Structure 1
Amino acid sequence: MASIKDVAVEAGVSVATVSRVLNGHPSVSPGARTRVLAAVETLGYRPNAVARSLRTDQTRTLGLVISDVMNPYFTELARSVEEEARALGYSVIIGNADERPDLQDHHVTTLLDRRIDGLLVSPTDGGSPRMLDAARAGAPMVFVDRWIPGVDVPVVRSDGRQAVRDLVAHLHGLGHRRLAIIAGPAATTTGRERVDAFREALAAYGLALPDAYIGQGDFQAESGRRVTEGFFDLAEPPEVVFAADNLMALGALDAVRARGLRVPEDIALAAFDDIRWFVHTDPPITAIAQPTGELGRAAVRALVDRIEGRTGASVTLPARLVVRRSCGEPGGPRQSPSPVRRSTP
């Protein structure tokens, strides 16, 4: 993907001259302007995405690109972002990447072309070219929930490691020893971090995390269902399934019920990313809750700081364990377990 430096080399001018041409500055000679525009056309460079975003005039508008608008966690995050932005005198335009890098790039380009003042992004699948170009070009940007190592952008996120340790201690205290995880995409920081935290927490109790007990999901319900079906078909199924996000937990619950099994009598279930629905499931699901509202508000404040010339600092907030009744907690049902039913080949 061509950069502004590539355009400058192709046209035989300075980067500053290219910038002036792209911003319509009258001080550029006709010949230089012609060469720059020809280089832009030849290289397929998209000037508006970054150039317009760096203009000094403000639109009092922020962009928010979230990974999946159907995920209740991101819905709540978007709501808190909009509320805080409105309180600070900004409007918000939201783009849903649907966990697709190409859609993320589409939304980033569109939002910057509309001259937003700054951008909040929850990077999908390790980022995307247009988003990375905008970040490296200095467009005001803050990563929220997820981040990309090595990219110099403030990050507002929660730290779930202690909450995962608390969950494993809780499960160990209930007598569970065979614990499995439905992991998120390995290309995302949250996907990797939650598996690492789970493995470390198990090791503290002398428990292993075999490869067979790590199921690869994609933060979508269907992957939670598929992975849980695979766990049931193991010679020694796990006693607990820990889903690394809420939608995969709901998919896991579907798989349990499809087998005619029960939570927690036949298998325990826990989740990362607590949602309001979990208190209404039967049984209510034990989960790790992120401070979603606080994350959204902190992300907006960090971005506005950057827009208004102040230092936008990274923020890390702790997640917490919410104990309910899906892991065999006291007060939960005490019926005899049913045998695990495996599908026939």
Structure 2
Amino acid sequence: MTTIKDVAQHAGVSTATVSRVLNGHAAPTEETRSRVLAAVDELGYRPNALARSLRTTATTTLGLVISDLVNPFFAEIARAVEEEARAHGYCVIVANADESADQQATYVRTLLDRRVDGLLVCPATDDPSWIAEVEAADVPLVLLDRTVEGAACPVVRADGAQALADLADALRAAGHRRVGVIAGPADTSTGRERLEQFGRGGLDLAVVHGDFRRESGARAAAELLDLPDRPTALVAMDNLMGLGALEELRRRELKVPADVGLAVYDDQPWFPLLDPPITVVAQPTVEMGRAAARSLLALIAGEQPADVRLSARLVVRGSCGEATGAA
């Protein structure tokens, strides 16, 4: 393995000069700097990042703990975080909590042990116990998409209140009065808030909670469709639960929207391609990921960024039916 001494000998300079060049400090002359960089390229030298971090206390790495890597919503956010971080010279280590508070806590500890410069976490549940470990380690923290009560750190999220109010209006205009809601877990901020916000729309709601997974969406849809007073439309508060609901509707050979309407919180590239295309509440996922990365980098730089709240929007397609004349 090539060492810094090999580079120094090849370039005809001291190891201190090589170190200064690699750390961005001024070299004695521009010719010396060029000679050192040429030696680095010729020998294929790679600095030991761990050794450097022990000297500088910085690793230029960020930790990102997301709730479910299978969920396209979080995958898109992770990509946006990585792109923004890379543009500022940082690498991102992604950990999948798999919607488990215990697994999330394990990954948080692991990332702290790896000496990441900052943490981005989408909390799996409301459990705040892991935050104390982050605060004790004095590592900058930003919460993404979901909140945890009592956490004294910036939060980046989307506000779906207006979009859900618009969805309630659109369903009413299409003649729906009784609506089945496939809600998220009650122990997550997004699970509670989306249900509460949609509940203000004045519709008659039947509610079954899922766990933000496809299988739970199918089970919840089955339970709602088996009610004596069957809802005329289903609203799934997450894209994977929405896919599960659609799967159950197809299994029962119920037509959308002729038999049952369907709307989903979160858009996906294939939703407009379905027949009929799915009405959705679309979140600005790319903007959320980039904003979260910028907030964390600002914290690392010693700034105090404010919370970021972006707006979700309703995208009306064909899966809930057309507005009636009376409406």
* TM-score category, normalised to shorter length: 0.7 to 0.9
Q: 1:233 to 1:158 in 2, by over 3 A?
A: same
Out of 259, 263, 277, the residue aligned to residue 284 of structure 1 is: 277
Structure 1 position 265, deviation (Å) = 0.8
Identity, % of aligned pairs? Answer: 54
Out of 266, 289, 313, the residue aligned to residue 320 of structure 1 is: 313
Deviates more, 1:263-272 or 1:125-134: 125-134
Give, in whole Å, the separation in 2 of the partners of 1:94 and 1:68.
11
1:240-274 Cα offsets, whole Å, 9 max, x none, are 11000000000000110111111111100001011
Give, in whole Å, the separation in 2 of the partners of 1:120 and 1:313.
15
Other-structure match for 2:212:
219
Structure 1 position 208, deviation (Å) = 3.4
8 A Cα contact 1:108 1:131, kept in partner:
no
The alignment status of 1:107 with 2:100, answered yes or no, reads no
Give, in whole Å, the separation in 2 of the partners of 1:164 and 1:136.
39
Give, in whole Å, the separation in 1 of the partners of 2:292 and 2:229.
44
Structure 1 position 125, deviation (Å) = 1.6
Other-structure match for 2:67:
67
Structure 1 position 136, deviation (Å) = 6.0
Other-structure match for 1:77:
77
Structure 1 position 134, deviation (Å) = 1.1
Other-structure match for 1:208:
204
8 A Cα contact 1:289 1:321, kept in partner:
yes
Give, in whole Å, the separation in 2 of the partners of 1:316 and 1:98.
25
Structure 1 position 283, deviation (Å) = 1.4
Give, in whole Å, the separation in 2 of the partners of 1:55 and 1:169.
59
Structure 1 position 128, deviation (Å) = 5.4
Structure 1 position 217, deviation (Å) = 0.4
8 A Cα contact 2:121 2:143, kept in partner:
yes
The alignment status of 1:235 with 2:228, answered yes or no, reads yes
Give, in whole Å, the separation in 1 of the partners of 2:212 and 2:229.
25
- What runs of 5+ residues in structure 2 fail to find an aligned partner? 1-52
Letter in 1 for 2:84: E
Give, in whole Å, the separation in 2 of the partners of 1:326 and 1:73.
21
8 A Cα contact 1:104 1:128, kept in partner:
no
Tell me how large the CA RMSD over aligned residues is.
Answer: 1.7
Q: How many residues align?
A: 271
SS in structure 2 of the partner of residue 235 of structure 1 = coil
Give, in whole Å, the separation in 1 of the partners of 2:147 and 2:135.
12
Give, in whole Å, the separation in 2 of the partners of 1:287 and 1:55.
50
SS in structure 2 of the partner of residue 89 of structure 1 = coil
Other-structure match for 1:192:
192
Give, in whole Å, the separation in 1 of the partners of 2:285 and 2:244.
22
Letter in 1 for 2:204: A
Give, in whole Å, the separation in 2 of the partners of 1:56 and 1:190.
39
Give, in whole Å, the separation in 2 of the partners of 1:113 and 1:55.
16
Other-structure match for 2:267:
274
SS in structure 1 of the partner of residue 200 of structure 2 = helix
Q: How does 1:84-103 map to 2 (within 5 A)?
A: 84-103=84-103
Give, in whole Å, the separation in 2 of the partners of 1:123 and 1:274.
21
Give, in whole Å, the separation in 1 of the partners of 2:275 and 2:65.
33
8 A Cα contact 2:166 2:314, kept in partner:
yes
8 A Cα contact 1:78 1:296, kept in partner:
yes
Other-structure match for 2:58:
58
Other-structure match for 2:247:
254
Structure 1 position 298, deviation (Å) = 0.5
Give, in whole Å, the separation in 1 of the partners of 2:134 and 2:291.
21
Give, in whole Å, the separation in 2 of the partners of 1:226 and 1:247.
12
Other-structure match for 1:139:
139
8 A Cα contact 1:228 1:252, kept in partner:
yes
Q: 1:258 to 1:308 in 2, by over 3 A?
A: same
8 A Cα contact 2:126 2:149, kept in partner:
no
Other-structure match for 1:179:
179
Report which of the two structures shows the higher radius of gyration computed on alpha carbons: 2
Structure 1 position 175, deviation (Å) = 1.1
Give, in whole Å, the separation in 2 of the partners of 1:200 and 1:219.
22
Letter in 2 for 1:184: G
TM-score by length of 2: 0.80
1:300-332 Cα offsets, whole Å, 9 max, x none, are 1110011111112210000000111111137xx
Give, in whole Å, the separation in 2 of the partners of 1:54 and 1:66.
27
Give, in whole Å, the separation in 2 of the partners of 1:157 and 1:248.
20
8 A Cα contact 1:60 1:91, kept in partner:
yes
Give, in whole Å, the separation in 1 of the partners of 2:111 and 2:226.
46
8 A Cα contact 1:105 1:128, kept in partner:
no
